[in-house]
A and B are shown apart, each in its own frame.
Chain A
Amino acid sequence: MRLCSIAVLLVAFASCKPRNEAGAITAGAAEKVYVAPGKYDEFYNFVSGGFNGQVSVYGLPSGRLLKIIPVFSVMPENGYGYSEETKPMLETSHGSLPWDDQHHLELSQKDGSPDGRWLFANANNTPRVARINLATFRTEEIIELPNSAGNHSSPFCTENTEYVVAGTRFSVPVGDKQDVPISDYKKSFNGTVSFIKIDSSNGRMSLAFQLLTPAINFDLSHAGKGPSHDWFFFSCYNVEQAHTLLEVNASQRDKDFIMAVNWKKAEEFIRNNKGTLKSSRYAHNVYDEKTHSATSTIENKVLTLDPSQLKDFVYFIPCPKSPHGVDIDPSGEYIVGSGKLAALIPVFSFTKMMAAIEKKDFDGDYQGIPVIRYESALYGEVQKPGLGPLHTEFDGKGNAYTSFFVSSEVVKWNIKDLKVLDRKPTYYSVGHLCIPGGDTKKPFGKYLIAYNKITKDRYLPTGPELAQSAQLYDISGDKMELLLDFPTVGEPHYAQAIPADLIKNNSLKYFRIEDNKHPYVTKGEKEAKVVREGNKVHVYITSIRSHFTPDNIEGIRVGDEVYFHVTNLEQDWDIPHGFAVKGAANAEILIMPGETCTLKWVPEAEGVYPIYCTDFCSALHQEMQGYVRVSRADANTPLKYGTNLPDSAVAKN
């Protein structure tokens, strides 16, 4: 063991050239992350997929990839976005979109702690928020945000999941006049911050209200907790209101803002009819577990509140400099701004902020919104923490951990005395951090995961494009200890981790066929059939280990739209069947036990087309196949179908 560690150390020195010895792996690291075959990990780690538009699920501490949940991008692997049932999930006011950029995740909460019911995910490019059901690990709902662009400061939620928020990274023209000169930015553009109401019984989302804000950029956000429960905090940059070369022009001012929003007060304004209902177009897509199908609806109204008119519920706190993370400690008292160009970390006090508001201790206003004096809200500053602070998480033991992109390190500091306690390098250029429950009232602690943007020489080279990575640190002791590197899928941004016990026992094993309300379900082979309606052909087909019924189909014609409605008759865990058709301009579909999925196929030439099961299901999986005969468009081939029919069987219908 000792020898082994030494070897690891030597290799580490030889290949990675860590900048200091603290980066080396200590003995015993392997044991701490080893999860024996057949044993479960202690935590689920939900990791945003960035530019792959999906969410990946890892086990901790092993770093094993358990699943990729398709959310905002199509996934030919299981048919998400390709099956008729899931196509509506990707509908937007811009039509059907196959891709997005998924940045941040938030687990639903009760009393400030994750309850394991849902996971929320944001889409950055075409602004949307998704809700994933953690019983099925499926995307169940997606709501689009109107009057928004670059939905970055999302999808963070309040302590009882009353609301999930979304804010604009890009301010845009809001309202009827959309075709405006870009140089009219200050005059014609607005930011917006949306509050999405969550129905606590079923998780359903609805756009409750939208704040119309000055044309600045919102970066991240977090809800208050405990004493600050009624408030939501958003980091803002580009208060310079640049619309070109932001790299330089949005970095002029010494301080940007943290925007504090009293959402309880916003509710009060709405109750008193102070909101304005405005026309808007946005898609709202809902997947129904009983029909196994999604529907997409275009909504057309949004309730708007204007904080420059409605007073005393939105305030700015100056924050150096282009802040990324705005993170609230478990007590709800301390608000940590991570200014990515700042040389210090400001920590604001909620108590002092409230006192300043009470005393109107303002440094003027910014476009009609009061700016609280920096010193009046400030609790203190962490001096010389590192370069490029990005994001802070908490361990529940009075410590904060901040990522530093520029200096590639994680820094542990004490919230009360603001003293730096430890620093460890990351490999390389860390973005977000995650501690299990690290943004909640009661962090579970134990581990910290750093999500790195750059890996360079950390893994075997794979050409110019390399994996991003996660690094796992043990934070149970005084000093952080690097345990494990693991490559990630896509580009991870924010992540969440939760004890496995809060999720695994609720995990659905199969869909009850009795509950299947799909309009084209086939409940038993007896109901299997092929129905022609004009040029549409509906195939009611079943799968069970290991055959389809029907598996011989004749009478399809070139130009038909064929819908294979495949019902998986199995009623046990981990028995999916797949379905594919030769030449289909589509993906495969994977059908879970008790589920019905539909693959659309438009054959373009006559011939005999094989169909088969793509998911190895039994010793006779390779036999799970069939044929579909396609005749000329004007042919009179009778419709005939079945499984194990005698060759002499006469045509049905």
Chain B
Amino acid sequence: MKKYVYTAVLLGLTWACASNSQPPKEESPAPVVEDNSLQPSTSASSAAYDSVKGAGKYTNIELSAALDQKMIAGGKTVYEVKCAACHKLTDEKLVGPGWKGITKKKSPEWIMNFVSNTDEMIDKDPHAQAMLAVCMVRMPNQHLSDEETRDVFEFMRNNDSSK
């Protein structure tokens, strides 16, 4: 099943790329996005790719049980300047997907790699590619510092812990 879904996603993407000079056809099926990347990928196209942690500098993020209020505050500031234009804090998609639940679905490493190594992740990561096919806007790399990246992740954790 897993494999099947990825193939469908890849096919969808291939279609999107091949026909990007054409308007999309009405009857084309929407790409299926099934978020299962907390499980290791066995996708043939990316044998060496770690779809749990993604590609980038973050390979092991240790999280404390308690949330760090200072980091949350820093993350909120970054969010408002660089992220809020496209991402809501609910699960509602604006330009990009809403953030609610993201830390439950994705590993800290994946999220922080996606934030800091956006282009490579969009090019390599099956889930990111699938999201691109849905959102149709490549997420810009907003060039967050290491500290800002970590702060934003803490802000996301806090967002998922509340309510």
Contacts and interface: CB of A to CB of B under 8 A. Distances in A.
Contacts of B29: none
A618 B81 contact: no
A570 interface: yes
B143 interface: yes
A525 B82 contact: no
Interface stretch (A29-37, A307-315, A540-548): A540-548
Contacts, number: 57
A509 to B, nearest CB: 9
Contacts of B20: 619
Contacts of B80: 523-527
Contacts of A544: 85-86, 95, 140
A546 B84 CA distance: 13
B82 A547 contact: no
Contacts of B84: 524-526
Contact of A618 (B82, B94, B137, B143): B137
B51 to A, nearest CB: 24
Interface residues of B, number: 16
Contacts of A620: 95, 136-137
A13 interface: no
Contacts of B39: none
B140 A575 contact: yes
B140 A546 contact: no
Contact of A569 (B85, B94, B138, B141): B85
Contact of A572 (B81, B86, B143): B143
Contacts of A523: 80-81
A570 B86 CA distance: 11
Nearest to A619: B136
B95 A545 contact: yes
A546 B138 CA distance: 11
Contacts of A542: 85
Nearest to A514: B81
A571 B141 CA distance: 6
Contact of A545 (B81, B82, B140, B143): B140
B36 interface: no
Contacts of A569: 81-82, 85
A86 interface: no
A619 B86 CA distance: 15
Contacts of A619: 20, 136-137
Interface string A506-532: 000010110000000001111100000
A618 B82 CA distance: 17
Interface string B67-103: 0000000000000111011100000001100000000
B42 interface: no
A545 B141 CA distance: 12
A154 interface: no
Nearest to A516: B81
Contact of A513 (B81, B86, B94, B95): B81
B14 interface: no
B95 A546 contact: yes
Given A618-B137, A618-B138, A619-B136, A510 B143 contact: yes
B59 interface: no
B95 A547 contact: yes
Interface string B126-163: 00000000001110111100000000000000000000
A570 B95 contact: no
Contacts of B143: 510, 512, 571-572
B69 to A, nearest CB: 20
A613 to B, nearest CB: 13
Nearest to A570: B140
Interface in A193-227: none
A544 to B, nearest CB: 4
Contacts of A618: 136-138
A35 B129 CA distance: 33
Contacts of B141: 571-572
A549 interface: yes
A485 to B, nearest CB: 34
A547 B140 contact: no
Nearest to A512: B143
A526 B137 CA distance: 22
A572 B140 contact: yes
5 contacts: A525-B84, A547-B95, A569-B82, A571-B82, A572-B143
Given A544-B140, A571-B141, A619-B20, 19 more contacts: A512-B143, A513-B81, A513-B82, A523-B81, A524-B81, A524-B82, A524-B85, A526-B84, A542-B85, A544-B85, A547-B95, A569-B82, A571-B142, A572-B140, A572-B142, A618-B136, A619-B136, A620-B95, A620-B137
Interface of B: 20, 80-82, 84-86, 94-95, 136-138, 140-143
- Listed from nearest, the 3 A-B pairs whose CB atoms lie closest are A524-B81, A524-B80, A571-B142
Interface of A: 510, 512-513, 523-527, 542, 544-547, 549, 569-572, 575, 618-620, 644
